[in-house]
Amino acid sequence: MIPIRHTIERTRPPLVNRALVAANVVVFLAQLFMGDTTERIIQTFGFMPARLVDPGAYGYAGWEVSITLFTSLFLHGGFVHLIGNLIYLWVFGGAVEDAVGHFRFFLMYIACGAIGSLTHTVLFPHSTVPSIGASGSIAGLLGAFLVLRPHAKIVTLFPLVVYWAMAEIPAVLFLPVWFGMQFFNGFLALQAARGTQEVVGIAWWAHVGGFLFGALLAALFRRNDRMRAHA
């Protein structure tokens, strides 16, 4: 499923969301021009669970490893990885920013990414495979969108075998299905990694953790806003 747009009208421009899209693109272009240095950049600024669990074993201080919870969010492993993330960020991010405000949106983006990486670490604490990408952050925005805009409809593109179909899918259907796919794939990843802490490919549990934390933050923001309005 490829989301194209949603049916919610914005009341203010998504300045932070656009800036995040631009930042991810700029960093990716910089990676392309770095050539062979890119691998070293990913190893240094990507998030590695084993390095967080035992920083000293890798010659790092705890605060240095903690920084990679955030720097890793702006690195991507390829063009498809980048475009896949930015499509979801572009479609869903603006509506969430419109609902919670610019500053809280930025905090949500960063916090959900970090929580996603920590969730990945809980399940794969000894993995030495660097985790990169904004997927955990974007998963958090999807969770927030479900809480804040449950009645929205998502114009979705379905690449079928012989043709492409388009339909409007309610957010209350689209997003739980998306989350279910992440959870199912995460379960399969756990089974595949049984007996070893090495995990390759997509950090599915970062998506699960980010989504749930984003939904929780959105619920708290909405509750606080209602209490403030009532007061």
The per-residue pLDDT for range 173-230, each reduced to its tens digit, is: 999 999 999 999 888 888 776 655 555 567 899 999 999 999 999 999 999 888 888 7
Residue 101, CB half-sphere, CA atoms under 13 Å: how many?
6
Lowest mean pLDDT among 37-46, 50-59, 186-195: 186-195
Residue entry with tokens 């916090």: 111
Gap between the Cα atoms of 210 and 103, Å rounded:
18
Listed in sequence order, the DSSP H helices in the chain are: 15-34, 37-45, 49-53, 62-71, 79-100, 102-123, 135-148, 171-192, 204-230
DSSP state of 9: P
Q: Can you tell me the mean pLDDT for 102-116?
A: 97
159 and 87 Cβ atoms separated by less than 8 Å: no
Q: For all residues of the chain together, what is the average pLDDT?
A: 91
- pLDDT of the residue at 176: 95
- pLDDT of the residue at 190: 80
Token pair belonging to 63: 């605060």
> In this predicted model, what pLDDT tens digit does every residue of 14-38 receive, in sequence order?
999 999 999 999 999 999 998 889 9
Q: What angle do CA 206, 211, 145 make, to 5 degrees?
A: 150
- pLDDT of the residue at 227: 85
φ, ψ of residue 164 to 5 degrees: the values are -110, 130
Give CA separation, 49 vs 64, 66, 130, 138, in Å.
13, 11, 8, 20
User: Domains in the chain and their CATH numbers?
Assistant: 2-230 (1.20.1540.10)
- pLDDT of the residue at 196: 53
Burial of 96 (0-12, 13-18, 19+ CB in 10 A): buried
- pLDDT of the residue at 195: 53
Q: What angle do CA 92, 113, 111 make, to 5 degrees?
A: 95
> In this predicted model, what pLDDT tens digit does every residue of 133-153 receive, in sequence order?
999 999 999 999 999 999 999
